[in-house]
């Protein structure tokens, strides 16, 4: 269970870091008075989505450690969350 917890912790920290980056970029845009920005979509995509993924993975880790006691039940979603960062970063960064 130790390896699954480490994988989940890394994924949670990375997604929280992405949420902080999104928050900081939106704050910078607000202070620079960019017209028609931020939109609701940019707020959802920059802050809400990463926080939702991190919160869901944290809740799943809590459930797996408390009730399921199956390492693969936590490791598989953690690896999937880490793998989902590549498309997220590509879209958030403007593409290739």
pTM over 0.85, yes/no: yes
Tokens of 49: 């989505």
pLDDT at 56: 98
How do the pLDDT tens digits run along the chain, 96 residues long?
A: 899 999 999 999 999 999 999 999 999 988 998 888 888 998 999 999 999 999 999 999 999 999 988 899 999 999 999 999 999 999 887 765
d(CA 46, CA 22): 4
Ranges of each domain in the chain = 2-92
What are the angstrom distances between the C-alpha of 86 and each of 14, 21, 67? 12, 15, 31
pLDDT at 94: 73
Tokens of 46: 């920059």
């Amino acid at each position: 269970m130790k390896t699954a917890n480490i994988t989940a912790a890394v994924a949670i920290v990375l997604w929280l870091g992405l949420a902080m980056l999104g928050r900081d970029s939106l704050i910078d845009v607000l202070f620079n008075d960019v017209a028609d920005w931020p939109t609701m979509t940019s707020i959802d995509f920059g802050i809400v989505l990463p926080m939702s993924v991190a919160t869901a993975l944290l809740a799943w880790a809590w459930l797996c450690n408390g009730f399921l006691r199956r390492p693969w039940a936590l490791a598989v979603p953690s690896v999937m969350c880490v793998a989902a960062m590549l498309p997220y970063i590509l879209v958030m960064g403007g593409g290739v």
